[in-house]
């Protein structure tokens, strides 16, 4: 009954989205241009939303339903949507033309701003997406070290490039899509964060490992945090064995402070990949790190390691929006503290609620990143493996549907908090989740 009522309400209030969806599935495989943007809804008989505008903490769909947005453009829009200062500078600059395929001063300014704040970034290079950045980071590592293997964290999401689309979905088997080579052929080893066996893997492969790449907080993988001790040891072991350590900070960069997360951890990797927030909501990726490594990509180098290319690399409007965003973030210390605090509080209070009511949900994340996992049964204090092993994907889709019906947009259960979110917004999100948790869990059993 709950599912039927939710579907009825969803369909009634979204006729335009439904029309667009019917056209979309005829021209775009699955109706989308990014796999997760279905929000899982087709698996339970619904269609995703089509959004027309955003402002502050809210977005509005084509049927004029307004939502509190926790998805925030894949964790990008830390200032909220349509920030007036970012909009103003984009408007000013768009009147001058928007793509020249040469160089602009803005990319130099943005690089300077990032390098100034981050001791781990001595030099950097821009591209258009995080997917490209991680692909280049591994290529650079292999060529620089003259070694073949790259180790990546299980559940780590570095974009869908051929190099790193391994061990993305679960722990149990090689989970690369058809069309990609096997892990062995591709020179990939996977490892588990916070697991002692990772160090055995390093020991065994220390002569052939070029690099180890991981997100300090597994983002797309579900908000699981690598322990500080694990990361410190990873740094020690890689340094000892001349293996490059790559932190993928596409999500964590500038998310918790006005710089990269590595500065909070006090662990400096050899290379760092960046994206999302540093482009202010326009397409961006970047790779930075030790000068002796990054500089090898220069065309002036005798032994150049070829990375880069990209018609839109260093795209002027992305550089301009990124610069303005980082300038605003420079003066946002209090705002960082506020959203870190409210995110933390939301995560803890939701988990308390789920535990008190023995509901099959668990929240994971860090500070302003808050993701809700829907499980097939209640587990008290579940481990990462238990959460992933008992994940209920249709239940998660139903959670998304029920959130949308109550004017909250979330993905991965929820997502993140922006500086535009108020305390009242957070109270509303918490109330909505608490209202729907029991019926979603009851109805999920029949899906």
Q: What sign does the CA torsion over 370, 129, 259, 270 have?
A: positive
Q: How far is the CB of 251 from ligand PLP (least distance, A)?
A: 5
Q: How far is the CB of 16 from ligand PLP (least distance, A)?
A: 27
Number of neighbouring beta carbons within 10 Å of residue 143: 18
Q: How far is the CB of 279 from ligand PLP (least distance, A)?
A: 9
Nearer Cβ to ligand PLP (329/411):
411
Q: How far is the CB of 410 from ligand PLP (least distance, A)?
A: 15
Q: How far is the CB of 269 from ligand PLP (least distance, A)?
A: 14
Nearer Cβ to ligand PLP (74/257):
74
Q: Please list, in sequence order, all residues whose beta carbon lies within 8 angstroms of the beta carbon of residue 259, skipping any fewer than 6 positions away.
A: 117, 118, 253
Give me the residues paired with residue 126 across strands.
Answer: 286
Nearer Cβ to ligand PLP (149/250):
250
Nearer Cβ to ligand PLP (222/275):
275
The radius of gyration computed from the CA coordinates of the chain, to the nearest angstrom, equals 22
Closest residue by beta carbon to ligand PLP: 130
Q: How far is the CB of 293 from ligand PLP (least distance, A)?
A: 19
Q: How far apart are the first and last CA of the chain?
A: 12
Q: How far is the CB of 439 from ligand PLP (least distance, A)?
A: 31
Nearer Cβ to ligand PLP (360/365):
365
Q: Which residues bind ligand PLP (CB under 6 A)?
A: 74, 129-131, 134, 157-159, 215, 219-220, 248, 250-251, 275, 285
Question: HSE-up of 338 (CA within 13 Å, CB side)?
Answer: 14
Nearer Cβ to ligand PLP (131/363):
131
Q: How far is the CB of 281 from ligand PLP (least distance, A)?
A: 12
Nearer Cβ to ligand PLP (158/373):
158
Nearer Cβ to ligand PLP (193/402):
193
Q: How far is the CB of 290 from ligand PLP (least distance, A)?
A: 20
Q: How far is the CB of 250 from ligand PLP (least distance, A)?
A: 3
| Separation of alpha carbons 198 and 211, rounded Å | 13
Nearer Cβ to ligand PLP (245/436):
245
Nearer Cβ to ligand PLP (120/285):
285
């Amino acid at each position: 009954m709950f599912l039927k009522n939710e579907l009825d309400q969803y369909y009634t209030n979204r006729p335009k989205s439904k029309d667009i969806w019917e056209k979309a599935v005829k021209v775009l495989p699955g109706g989308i241009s990014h796999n997760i943007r279905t929000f899982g809804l087709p698996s339970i008989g619904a269609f995703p939303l089509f959004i027309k505008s955003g402002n502050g903490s809210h977005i509005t769909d084509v049927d004029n339903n307004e939502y509190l947005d926790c998805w925030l453009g894949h964790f990008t829009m830390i200032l909220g949507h349509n920030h007036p200062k970012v909009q103003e500078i984009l408007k000013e600059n768009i009147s001058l033309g928007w793509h020249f395929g040469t160089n602009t001063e803005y990319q130099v300014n943005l690089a300077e701003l990032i390098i100034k704040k981050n001791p781990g970034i001595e030099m950097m290079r821009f591209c258009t997406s995080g997917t490209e950045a991680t692909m280049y980071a591994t290529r650079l590592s292999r060529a620089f070290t003259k070694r073949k293997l790259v180790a990546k964290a299980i559940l780590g999401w570095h974009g869908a490039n051929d190099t790193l689309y391994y061990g993305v979905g679960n722990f149990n088997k090689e989970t690369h899509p058809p069309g990609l080579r096997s892990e062995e052929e591709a020179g990939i080893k996977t490892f588990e964060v916070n697991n002692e066996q990772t160090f055995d893997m390093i020991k065994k492969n220390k002569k052939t490992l070029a690099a180890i790449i991981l997100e300090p907080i597994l983002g797309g993988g579900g908000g699981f945090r690598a322990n500080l001790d694990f990361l410190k040891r990873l740094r020690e072991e890689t340094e000892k064995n001349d293996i490059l350590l790559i932190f993928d900070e596409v999500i964590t960069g500038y998310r918790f402070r006005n710089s990269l997360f590595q500065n909070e951890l006090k662990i400096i990797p050899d290379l760092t990949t960046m994206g999302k927030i540093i482009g202010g909501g326009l397409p961006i990726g970047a790779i930075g790190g030790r000068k002796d490594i990054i500089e090898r990509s220069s065309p002036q180098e005798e032994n150049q390691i070829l990375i880069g290319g990209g018609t839109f690399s260093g795209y002027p409007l992305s550089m301009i929006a990124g610069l303005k965003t980082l300038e605003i973030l420079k003066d946002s210390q209090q705002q960082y503290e506020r959203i870190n605090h409210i995110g933390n509080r939301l995560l803890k209070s939701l988990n308390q609620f789920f535990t008190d009511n023995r509901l099959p949900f668990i929240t994971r994340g860090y500070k302003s990143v808050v993701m809700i996992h829907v499980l097939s049964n209640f587990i008290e204090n579940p481990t990462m493996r238990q959460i992933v092993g008992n994940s209920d994907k249709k239940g998660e889709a139903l959670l998304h549907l029920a959130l949308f019906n109550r004017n909250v947009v979330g993905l991965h259960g929820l997502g993140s908090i922006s500086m535009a979110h108020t305390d009242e917004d957070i109270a509303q999100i918490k109330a909505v989740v608490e209202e729907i948790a029991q019926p979603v869990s009851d109805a999920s059993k029949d899906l």
